[in-house]
């Protein structure tokens, strides 16, 4: 695997190193030892799949507060998405900054999302499937979220939003929730 750290410390784009022959290729998509060598939490508590019927669908911006903060390893296994993560670590020099990465079934790329980051994505093709390996069990009592269109975040989605859950539509802007996010995300 090829690990490339983003501008947000601890967040990595991970590309596979395919070993090709006449059949196609074989590549490692996860290795606990390699993740640990890059200082990444290599625990997987849950593996999830999200299927999205229509391009333009938006999921996010989701996170869990400590002590149940999650790491995520996100990969698009069918279709394509633009994945955006936001640094919610108050002590970080990049607090509230974001990174956007295109993940497709064809590029086989993954994004490692550290703990205390918000995560969301928009679907670029109909019938897209995304897989997540998550480092903590889902805990609804520690769930949080941010508005996908909060002007303070300045997130750029490539398509008009066509589908979104009612819950995601109701997340608050930073002007309303920033003090709670700062307090609950401080270690």
| Domain CATH number, residue 48 | 2.60.120.10
Number of independent structural domains in the chain: 1
Give the per-residue pLDDT at 60. Answer: 94
List active site positions: 62, 132
Buried b (16+ CB within 10 A) or exposed e, 130-167: bbbbbbbeeeeebebbbbbebeebebebeeeeeebeee
Tens of pLDDT along 43-85? 999 999 999 999 999 999 999 999 999 999 999 999 999 999 9
Count of CB atoms situated within 10 Å of the CB of 56? 17
Give the per-residue pLDDT at 180. Answer: 97
The mean pLDDT value for 127-151 works out to: 97
Residue in the block written with tokens 């090709």: 20
By residue range, what is the domain housing residue 170? 2-185
pLDDT band at 187 (very low <50, low <70, confident <90, very high): confident
This prediction has a pTM of: 0.95
Decide: 134 and 45 in contact? Cβ < 8 Å: yes
How far apart (Å, rounded) are the C-alpha atoms in residues 152 and 150? 5
Tens of pLDDT along 4-52? 999 999 999 999 999 999 999 999 899 999 999 999 999 999 999 999 9
């Amino acid at each position: 695997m090829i690990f490339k750290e983003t501008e947000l410390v601890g967040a990595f784009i991970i590309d596979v190193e395919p070993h090709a022959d006449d059949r196609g290729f074989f590549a490692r998509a996860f290795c606990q030892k390699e993740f640990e060598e890059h200082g990444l939490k290599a625990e997987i508590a849950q593996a999830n799949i999200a299927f999205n019927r229509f391009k333009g669908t938006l999921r996010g911006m989701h996170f869990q507060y400590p002590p149940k903060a999650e790491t995520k390893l996100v990969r698009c296994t069918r279709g394509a998405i633009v994945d955006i993560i936001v640094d919610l670590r108050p002590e970080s020099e990049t607090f509230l900054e974001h990174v956007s990465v295109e993940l497709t079934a064809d590029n086989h790329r993954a994004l490692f999302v550290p703990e205390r980051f918000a995560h969301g994505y928009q679907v670029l093709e109909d019938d897209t499937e995304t897989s997540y390996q998550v480092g903590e069990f889902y805990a609804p009592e520690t769930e949080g979220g941010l508005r996908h269109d909060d002007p303070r975040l300045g997130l750029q989605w490539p398509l008009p939003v066509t589908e979104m859950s009612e819950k995601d539509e109701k997340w608050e802007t930073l002007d309303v929730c920033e003090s709670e996010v700062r307090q609950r995300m401080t270690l």
